[in-house]
Structure formats: structure tokens, C-alpha cells
Amino acid sequence: MQTQEYSESEVAETRPGGVGNRILWLLVALAVVGGLVFAKLKYFPSPEAKGGGKGAAKGGKGKDGPAKAGPALPVEVYVVQATNLADAVAATGSVLAEESVIIKSEVAGKITRLNLREGQPVRQGQVLVTINAAEIQAALRKQEYNIRLYRDQEKRQHTLLDKEFISAQEYEQANNQLLTAQADLGALRATLAKSTIRAPFDGVLGLTTATVGTYVSPGTDITTLSKVKPVKIEFAVPGRFARLVKLQDPITITDEGSNNKFEAKVYALDPQIDPVSRTQTVRARYANTQNELRPGAFVKVNLELGETKGALQVPTEAVVPEAAGYSVYTVKNGKMEPRKIKIGMRSNKLIQVTDGLSVGDSIIRTGILQVKPGDAVRVIQ
């Protein structure tokens, strides 16, 4: 009797409903996956899909394509033109007295007379202070008596020398004693003169704390004396303009307190340029007949140095300072293009450009911080 063997697959095929069940489960799985994909695409579209769709609709590139250029940045420009530029230097200065001195004592003693009226004018040579000099005067009289004695001795010795009763050396000793006493008398008279303090020049007295009876020592400050008609104006100009400043150049002074303007002229130039500040000190003189300016006041100075024809200027806000100099941003073919420049004279609103620009160049004056080289820009009025 023969036994027939069947494989597992053949047995499964012989089972009722086996193949049909497998097909049914496969169809159900496909339906579920399709439903999930449909719901994802319909209700939860990705940003890339949206962008891709719009890009495809507009004929753009896909995700990995080049980015689309942004809109042109609106900017205001300044068109460079040739103008006549007045060469002027603006500086700050101080008012100085024509002459000023601190009145001090040269000898020690008590003040016996005080002829000071604070803030009042005095004349040259007027007595201001007298210091007790009784001891000096006594020493002076004593020396005068000694000189009389030495003079008589010198005459007698000279007579004896003529008769050859004494040697020349003995006569010379007597004569030297007389000459020395006369020199000492001169020194005492000079010291006595120091006890009387006089005004060295015409001027106005300052304030004082000294009174009659005050003891003063050599070097003690008593008061000040200033000559304020005329006054000096001291200011400094940058070294690069030093060669342009000349004697008798006119300057305009603006008093900070009253905002009044005055005209003065340069009378002195420092021959050296300060190695620290790289500036040259200049002094001008103003008559100050009405005491308009007071020593120590702060003033603004404007010095005219001539006129430059055909100068190129740009707004101050358009110049960009850099480590190696200065630059401006120009507009060329609708794009920003940086340009290196060299500057000259400058004011609050304009800066002179000596190199790097030409007439007709368009300089960006707004939006400088937002643009980069090559960016598209749109000029607005």
C-alpha cells in the first residue's frame, strides 16, 4: 500500500478559505495605509510641500534651488557737485589778559599801609603796599656814617701816599674799605625799596585778604594785577593747517556767555607744533575797550584761511570712518558700491573730499547700516 506525501503549502491550499483570507487581509492593510497618506497630504501638508507647490506653480526652483533675491532697499542719495569752499578752521580758545601778575612781598615784615581797592584800576608806579622797614632804615643810616669815616680815611691815606710816607698797599686797603661800604649802602637802599610795593603797569586789581598789620613773608601773595585792555585770545589749530595761518589773519570770536561776536587779528604764532596734540598754538589780540571779554572766559574761534574753488563736499552722515581712513557708499547700476576717500575741511554738516569722488557721483546718505556691497538699492527723493 503506497503512502502519498504533501507539502505544507499544498495542504494549506486544500484548506477551505485559505487563499481568500490572505488576499482579504492584504487589501485591508493597503486601504488603511492609503487612508493615512491621504489624510496627511490633505489636512497636514508640510511647509516644503507648500513652498514647492507655489514654486512649481510660478516656475521656481525646488528646495535645493537658489534663493530668490530680496527687494531693493530704498535709500536717499546726495549728488556730488563742485562748489566754492571757504577754508576756515573752527576751534575753541581762552581769553587771556594782556599782562597779568601776582603781587607778592619780597621782604618780611608787617603791612603798615595798604592802598588797595579791590577790582579798581591803578596806574603804573602807584604805591599799593608799604611794609615796615624801620630796621632797614636804621642800618642804612649807620652805613652812611661809616662811609663818611671811610671817605675821610681814604683822603688822608691818599695825601700820605703822595708824600711817600705810606706804601701803595696801605692806601689800597683804605680805598677798598670805602668802596665796600658804598656797595653795602646800595644793597640796603635796594632792600628798602622792596618794602614799598608799586604797580608795575596800568591795570585792574584783584581781590585780597591782606590788611594793615598783616605779617607777610617773602613770596606771600597779596593780590593780582591784570591789564585787560586789550586782551589776548589763545587757541590751537591742527598741524596740517599751520602753514596756512599768517600774522594779521582776521578771526571771529564768539563769546560763550553772551553769544556776541567780535573781530580780532592774529599777532603771534608758536614756532613749534605740539608733539602730543599735533596742534599749533595761535594768539590774537582784541582791543576790549568796553570790557566785553574777561580773562579766563571760554570762546569759540573761526579762522578764515581763504577759499577753494571747485571743492567736492558730502554730508557728514554719509562718511563712514574706518581703521584705515574713510569711505562712502555710492550707487552704481542700482547697486551699492563702497568707495575709499580722503577728507579735508569739515563742518557740522559737510565734509570736503579731496580724493576718491567725482562730480555727479551719487552718495548714499540714509540706510547705510542696512546695505552691503552689491546689494540692490532704490533711490528715493
Per-residue pLDDT of the chain (381 residues; tens, 9 = 90+): 333 444 444 444 444 455 566 777 777 777 777 777 666 666 555 544 444 444 433 444 444 444 455 688 899 999 999 888 777 788 999 999 999 999 999 999 999 999 989 999 999 999 999 999 999 999 999 999 999 999 999 999 999 988 888 889 998 999 999 999 999 999 999 999 999 999 999 999 999 999 999 999 999 999 999 999 999 999 999 888 888 899 999 999 999 888 999 999 999 999 999 999 999 999 999 999 999 999 999 999 999 877 778 889 999 999 999 988 999 999 998 999 999 999 987 777 889 899 999 999 999 999 888 888 999 998 886
Report domain 75-85+309-379's class. mainly beta
Diameter of the chain measured on Cα atoms: 199
Report the pLDDT value the prediction gives residue 70, as an integer from 0 to 100: 63
Q: Compute the Cα dihedral for 68, 74, 79, 80 and give only its sign.
A: negative
Beta-strand pair 73-75/261-273: unpaired
- The three cell numbers of residue 374 are 552689491
CA atoms of 98 and 295, how far apart (whole Å): 9
Q: What is the pTM of this model?
A: 0.60
Report the pLDDT value the prediction gives residue 166, as an integer from 0 to 100: 86
Report the pLDDT value the prediction gives residue 1, as an integer from 0 to 100: 39
Chain centroid, CA 252 distance in Å = 19
Report the pLDDT value the prediction gives residue 44, as an integer from 0 to 100: 58
CA atoms of 184 and 197, how far apart (whole Å): 22
